Structure 1
Amino acid sequence: MSRFLLVLSLGFASVAIVYGGNVQISGCEVSYAGSKISLRTYEEYITYQEKILAEATADANGCFSLEFQLERTSLVFWHLGKYFVYLYAEPGKDYHINLPPRADKTEADRLNPYFTEEEVHLLPVTGDSRELNHLITRFDSIYGPYYSQFALSVYGPPDPASADTAVETILRHFNGINHPYFSDYLLYKTAILRCIASQYKARSLSAMYFRNHPVLFENPAYMELFHRIYDSYFSYFGRTDTGKAIYDVINRKQSYTTLRRILAADDVFKGDTLRDLVILKNLHDEFYRNSFNRNAIIHVLDSFRLQGQVVMFRPVAANILKKVTRLMAGYPPPSFRLQDSQGNFKSLEDFKGRYVYLNFCYCSSYSCLKEFEMLNTLYKKLKGYFEIVTILADPTLQKVTDFLNQNDYSWTFLHYGQQPDILKEYDIRAFPTYFLIGPDGKLILSPAPSPAENFQQTLFNVMRSRGDLQ
């Protein structure tokens, strides 16, 4: 992943540490004139669910201003075409930034589910080398080569002496720095070097960096080490005499309360907060593996969402539930509100009470064009039984309008442009892709067969099984 450094002007508050406060970010870059600028952060670092902090539309000169509240120092960012632009924002401070010149994704980039944005870290120009973003950028430039060195030798013998030397060398560069957030960043990033150098086992690192330390679940450096240390914890714990009951507790009893109780026997934890965070991480990760029943994991997560001991983690459980069930039969699919060719907005809710054959395509795809003809025949024949909704991933709404003006298709076509993340939310990796949604708004088939795969008979079978067809 490439990294670029840009500059920004920074107005300092009168105190060194502010717990909660207003933040203002402004800037000008003419190539963004008329564009919406959306600033985001992560809700949490298990699902990495994003939330919008502030939005503004750049004026004719590309100038904008964003104002929002922060409770604590946070990583904030923009998705700007090919770029992932970020900085660490502190409560009570004002920033003036210079965004990188606009570079939109190409058509190939946009349709590539594996496309990775280039990172751009914004830097202050105050001349204060102890400002947080300066410190982190300086640290990263020193840390990066060591990380690469140890990562490349990870399959070799442990080299604890080299890890000690690397950490000591890095720390010498920052003697005398007294910035609480940066101190934590330094602590957990250098711990990652010790981890990948196999200097200590996971349990030792847990004791050194987590058991008697605050749980900094909103700090990305802390969470990066956390994910390494507690990866596959359920599997390792399940191999012990104390922990072997974990499979029965999750798969059969499906009990969040009992799960907490058996984990309390492991002295790797001290207190409820770290233990519940480990539970959430492993429930999330194990859903995508094969050791535990998925429906059982969903049940435990739902219990956590409703009665989690650490109340502030209940929304995290809700986010995990939403993520793991979003394309599962029996659960509501991701919602959308998109424009049709007339500029009217339509949402999935508008079709509630009817069967919906949802598909994703784009106008220049030969496979899509071929199946549009089959969809047209199918819709004319079975219009009273279901609705077809096609979401087109073409570059502009005008292209969709031109296409529909040239073709006599009477079902609903929507353009993804107002919600481009819809392709990621539905995990679209090929065009066309189909889903069948029931009258209750929940997925029935995910994915669904295409028209060429005898969808008509499949639809009738589903309707009969649900009592909607004699």
Structure 2
Amino acid sequence: MCIACHSAQNITIKGKAHLSYKGRVIQLFSLSDNITNVEQKESQDTIGQDGFFAFSLYSDHTQPVILKIGNITSRLYVQPDFVYGITIPEIDEDADRRNDAELFINIGIVGADSTELNALIFDYQALYNKFFIPKDNRFLSRNVLFKRADSLKKVCDLKYKSVNNPYFKSYYEYSIASVNASLSRGENYLINTYILGKPIQYTHYEYMQFFSTCFSGYLNSVASAKKGQSLYNIINSKASYGLLDAFLKDDKYLKNDSLRELVVLSNLWDFYFSADFSPEAIEMIVSDINQRTNISMHKKIASTMLACFNKMQPGSAAPDFQARSKDGTIGTLNSFKNKWIYLNFFSTKNIETLKEMPKIASLKKKFGDKLVFVSVCLDDSLSSYQSFIKNNPKLDWNIWYNYDKAILKTAKENYFITGTEGYFLINNFGYLAQSPASAPSKGIEFKLNSIFKMSNKTTKPGIR
């Protein structure tokens, strides 16, 4: 069952699990981005006695989502405006259940036609297996594998010529690209064939997995071929993004500013977990990128990295803070114990954050009895904050000012905000539920609908 809902970008998943799962909790996760691959929980449900469960989530792009029942995991590719019907089979009797290792199972898609994305992927995987998993399990040499990868590409181009699904076309292209990368087909071939001269597909999982593999350790490779200032000195001693960017600018593959910045972010993520580099220095450089970049996806990746570096990922305790309230008294986040909180940071000098305020007002009208809204103004001037409050009397929630002489450590510092924008969702136990959270214009309403089981009365389903 795949139905398109041509209104809000809402995705619904309706499922039936094998009765052996009844009463168990099933969780739905998406990836924050395709560089860090940090999982963020979108929703959860308890599988009923009849095996049924349901999820809803927001997405403005096609992506894989992950379903988990304990350590049992499956993957589903979802597109905006679709309703999916799925089935979850019983675990294979031969599966290793002796430890908590992840057990991957394939889900079933109800009513999908041959052009539906998951059906296409299943079909491609069967084709892939024919090329790379011989029935007699004989060894395939590297040269044979090269030829088979090229042949598979030609077969796919012909077989799927009439398929009008851009995600799937890139899916099989970068699946084959990853085969070539695993065979060490050559940096020059891989980058020139699959990366250069093509748009960066930030939200395409298979593209970005290939990208990360292709450029893994790339900064070290560049540094080994250079004379003069070392990569370690630029990162560990100088902690300078400007120097790092200049260091890479003349590389033959990194002439493009956007590509170079993404390669830097990808490598810094790996370097943070390496004993060769200073975590503090990596954090400083990523923070600098977060403030400088004008690419929204780079800002999102950098924000997720900083959240992880500062132990601000979902499941961590939400830091308490103090801030000046509208009447001049000091408010504290802990005064809202046992309540859900939607926290945002804004500035009257940042037009994009101001555009979110009327949307927060709408959210308050819908969810005001279920969670608390707290906005923190990051203006340098108290008078500009006070003018904003005076000129916007209808914004009737907790809008606080970040600075006060009585405050030793500000909300901005406690939440590691770089720049003048940030969003966090805190659950009623005082833990971060989403960090960073979606902005109102980016779909937080769908997350709140899922949490509080609100129905969307404006959705008008229509058959795809």
TM-score, structure 1 normalization: 0.59
Specify the SS of the correspondent of 2:76. Answer: strand
Q: What residue in structure 2 maps to residue 76 of structure 1?
A: 65
* Residues 1:103 and 1:163: Cα distance change in structure 2 (over 3 Å): closer
1:109 and 2:99 matched = yes
1:130 and 2:140 matched = no
Q: What residue in structure 1 maps to residue 87 of structure 2?
A: 98
Structure 1 residue ranges, 4+ long, deviating more than 6 angstroms after superposition: 102-107, 152-155, 331-334
CA contact (8 A) 2:87 2:110 kept: no
Q: RMSD value over aligned CA atoms? A: 3.9
Distance in 1, matches of 2:74 and 2:313, equals: 32
Count of residues paired in the alignment: 320
Q: What residue in structure 1 maps to residue 214 of structure 2?
A: 229
Specify the SS of the correspondent of 1:211. Answer: coil
Q: What residue in structure 2 maps to residue 88 of structure 1?
A: 77
Matched letter for residue 14 of structure 2: S
Higher relative contact order (CA 8 A, sep 6+): 2
User: Sequence identity of aligned pairs in percent?
Assistant: 24
1:298 and 2:287 matched = no
- Out of 226, 232, 252, the residue aligned to residue 237 of structure 2 is 252
CA contact (8 A) 1:272 1:309 kept: no
1:182 and 2:159 matched = no
1:167 and 2:153 matched = yes
CA contact (8 A) 2:30 2:64 kept: yes
* Residues 1:239 and 1:309: Cα distance change in structure 2 (over 3 Å): farther
For the pair shown, the structure with the greater C-alpha radius of gyration is: 1
- Out of 46, 59, 64, the residue aligned to residue 35 of structure 2 is 46
1:61 and 2:47 matched = no
Q: What residue in structure 2 maps to residue 213 of structure 1?
A: 198
Specify the SS of the correspondent of 1:204. Answer: helix
* Residues 1:24 and 1:168: Cα distance change in structure 2 (over 3 Å): same
Offset of 1:106 from its aligned partner? 9.4
1:273 and 2:263 matched = no
Distance in 2, matches of 1:276 and 1:56, equals: 39
Distance in 1, matches of 2:177 and 2:314, equals: 40
1:22 and 2:10 matched = yes
- CA offsets per residue over residues 351-397 of structure 1, 9 Å max, x none? xxxxxxxxxxxxxxxxxxxxxxxxxxxxxxxxxxxxxxxxxxxxxxx
TM-score, structure 2 normalization: 0.59
CA contact (8 A) 2:40 2:314 kept: no
Distance in 2, matches of 1:51 and 1:192, equals: 25
* Residues 1:226 and 1:332: Cα distance change in structure 2 (over 3 Å): closer
Matched letter for residue 12 of structure 2: Q
| Greater alpha carbon shift after TM alignment, 285-294 vs 215-224 | 285-294
Offset of 1:234 from its aligned partner? 0.9
Offset of 1:230 from its aligned partner? 0.2
Specify the SS of the correspondent of 1:66. Answer: strand
Offset of 1:131 from its aligned partner? 1.0
Offset of 1:222 from its aligned partner? 0.2
* Residues 1:78 and 1:300: Cα distance change in structure 2 (over 3 Å): same
- CA offsets per residue over residues 291-313 of structure 1, 9 Å max, x none? 43333223212323343343432
Q: What residue in structure 2 maps to residue 375 of structure 1?
A: none
Distance in 1, matches of 2:215 and 2:144, equals: 20
* Residues 1:315 and 1:211: Cα distance change in structure 2 (over 3 Å): same
Matched letter for residue 280 of structure 2: N
- CA offsets per residue over residues 218-261 of structure 1, 9 Å max, x none? 21110121122101101111022379643322122111122223
Unaligned runs of 5+ in 2: 319-333, 338-428, 431-464
Distance in 2, matches of 1:67 and 1:196, equals: 36
CA contact (8 A) 1:74 1:90 kept: yes
Offset of 1:176 from its aligned partner? 2.1
CA contact (8 A) 2:132 2:148 kept: no
* Residues 1:239 and 1:335: Cα distance change in structure 2 (over 3 Å): same
Offset of 1:155 from its aligned partner? 8.8
Offset of 1:84 from its aligned partner? 0.9
